[in-house]
Structure 1
Amino acid sequence: MYSESPVIEPIQAWSSPLFVTSNPDHEFLKEDLLQYIYNYQKSQEQAVASEVAVTAKHQLFESKLCFLEADNPAIMELRRMLEELISAIATEVNHEYWPEDAEGDATIIESWFHVTQDGGYHDVHSHPNCSWCGIYYLDPGECELGSRNGVNRFYDPRVNADHYADAGSAYINQQGFWDFEPVEGQVVIFPSYLKHSALPYFGKKDRVIIAFNSIVELA
Structure 2
Amino acid sequence: MSQLQLFPAFAVPMATANLEGAEQLNSQLKKRFFELEQAGFEETHTPTTRVNIFESNMDLFTLQDPSLQQLRLFCLSSIMSIVASTTRKSADEMRQLKLKNHAWFHITRKHGYIAYHNHPLASWSAVYYVDVGQPDPDYPESGQIRFFHPSSSNQMFMDAGNTSFSAPFHQGTLSFEPKPGQLLIFPSYLMHEVAPFMGQGERICVAMNCWFE
Fold-level match, TM-score > 0.5? yes
- Shift of the alpha carbon at 1:130? 1.1
Q: Which residue of 2 aligns with 1:51?
A: 45
Identical columns (%): 27
Whole-angstrom distance in 2 between the partners of 1:18 and 1:6: 32
- Contact kept in structure 2, 1:162 and 1:174, CA below 8 Å: no
- Contact kept in structure 2, 1:50 and 1:65, CA below 8 Å: no
Deviations 1:59-115 (A, max 9, x none): 010001111111101101111111111111110111xx3247643646241111000
Whole-angstrom distance in 1 between the partners of 2:7 and 2:200: 47
The alignment covers a number of residue pairs equal to 208
- Shift of the alpha carbon at 1:36? 1.2
- Shift of the alpha carbon at 1:23? 1.2
Q: Which residue of 1 aligns with 2:206?
A: 210
Q: In the superposition, relative to structure 1, how do residues 68 and 197 fare at CA in structure 2: closer, same or farther (>3 Å)? A: same
- Contact kept in structure 2, 1:106 and 1:216, CA below 8 Å: yes
Q: How does 1:1-219 map to 2 (within 5 A)?
A: 5-44=1-40, 49-53=43-47, 56-94=49-87, 97-99=88-90, 102-103=93-94, 105=97, 107-143=99-135, 147-170=140-163, 171=165, 176-217=172-213
Code of the residue aligned with 2:115 in structure 1: it is D
Whole-angstrom distance in 1 between the partners of 2:22 and 2:148: 28
- Shift of the alpha carbon at 1:157? 0.5
Identify which of structures 1 and 2 has the higher relative contact order when contacts are C-alpha pairs closer than 8 Å and 6+ apart: 2
Equivalent residue of 2:32, what SS?
A: helix
Code of the residue aligned with 2:174 in structure 1: it is W
Whole-angstrom distance in 1 between the partners of 2:103 and 2:21: 19
- Contact kept in structure 1, 2:136 and 2:200, CA below 8 Å: no
Gaps of 5+ in 2: none
Whole-angstrom distance in 2 between the partners of 1:138 and 1:50: 22
Q: Which runs of 4+ in 1 moved over 6 A?
A: none
Whole-angstrom distance in 1 between the partners of 2:8 and 2:170: 18
Gaps of 5+ in 1: none
- Shift of the alpha carbon at 1:50? 4.1
Deviations 1:111-160 (A, max 9, x none): 11000001100001000111111000100113479720110001110110
- Shift of the alpha carbon at 1:168? 2.1
Whole-angstrom distance in 1 between the partners of 2:24 and 2:16: 20
Deviations 1:180-216 (A, max 9, x none): 0001111100011111111001122000000001124
Code of the residue aligned with 2:59 in structure 1: it is C
Whole-angstrom distance in 1 between the partners of 2:44 and 2:81: 29
